[in-house]
Structure 1
Amino acid sequence: MAFESEHVLVSEIALAVRDRIRAITRGLPEAEEKIDGFGHTTFKVRDKSFVMMGEGEKGEGGSLSFKSDKETQQLLIQKGPYYRTAYIGQHGWVSINCKEIEDWNELSELIVEAYLRAAPKRLAQAYRNK
């Protein structure tokens, strides 16, 4: 499926981050990667998004957004370089510019938590019981 959109990932940085996200989500039951109607690379579980990636027209590295709760969102924003996601931040979503990702262990944990927030209870429980 090809999209003519300025949001499709093109920079080396964004593509490398996407590949690392793929590796993190590979072990999550029923997690899948899709390109949404806006050209964002989206990771979903049963049609519920838990990670989204997008990149502007200039291909400057893009950003990564993930589902969180409001407490975690506030803590991450306070410590930086995370920021509240535009349009969906009121639901706890947090973003980071791909160029600013330094702690992949922390980000991996946050992505798994995002998956567990989006996944149906049975899938989340199956993952926790692994």
Structure 2
Amino acid sequence: MAGDIPPEIEDRLRAICGGLPEAHEEPAWVGIRWRVRKRTFAHACTVEPGNPTSDAVRVFAPDGPLTVVSFRVPDDDVAGLAASGYPFYRPGWGTNVIGLVLGTTTDWEEVEELLTDSYCVQAPKSLSRLLDGSGK
């Protein structure tokens, strides 16, 4: 679907996001995104050095392309993640949006936790409750 995302990264994101209740994948303006109903909870793409619209490129000034995923976080987590530095950054839109550079050193357990949290931020409560096991 998104030829610019390395297949191994796309496959890992698809496994995480596709397993969430009522989540679906679709092409985005660039890259791919995962949505629950009509709300995006993850968006992944690869950005090239010199891309003036990419905050990841502005923040990290890479020599080569960066594959990134942006997602929602609970309001209480924004400042901590943004301040932690690489691989996290603020994409420059949305008050609760964080970006993450994906690559060979990515902690995929952390990515799964972050994207699941993003899903819970965006999903109707009835769906997000399915993930906490309470069913309430």
Same fold (TM over 0.5): yes
Please name the residue that 1:35 is paired with. 27
TM-score with structure 1 length normalisation?
0.78
Structure with the larger helix share:
1
- The 1:101/1:119 distance shift into structure 2, 3 A limit, reads farther
Q: Deviations over 1:47-105 (max 9, x none)?
A: 100000122357813211111123212111222220111223xx210001223752211
TM-score with structure 2 length normalisation?
0.75
Structure 1 residue ranges, 4+ long, deviating more than 4 angstroms after superposition: none
Letter in 1 for 2:47: G
Give the unaligned 5+ runs of structure 1: 3-7
Aligned-partner Cα distance in 2 for 1:92–1:50: 11
Greater relative CO (CA pairs within 8 A, separation 6+): 1
The number of residue pairs the alignment matches comes to: 119
Contact between 2:18 and 2:25, CA under 8 Å: does it hold in 1?
no
Please name the residue that 1:75 is paired with. 80
Q: Kindly report the root-mean-square deviation, in angstroms, between the aligned alpha carbons of the 2 structures.
A: 2.3
**Percent identity between the two aligned chains:** 27
Aligned-partner Cα distance in 1 for 2:118–2:80: 15
The alignment partner of 2:24 has SS state of strand
Give the unaligned 5+ runs of structure 2: 50-63
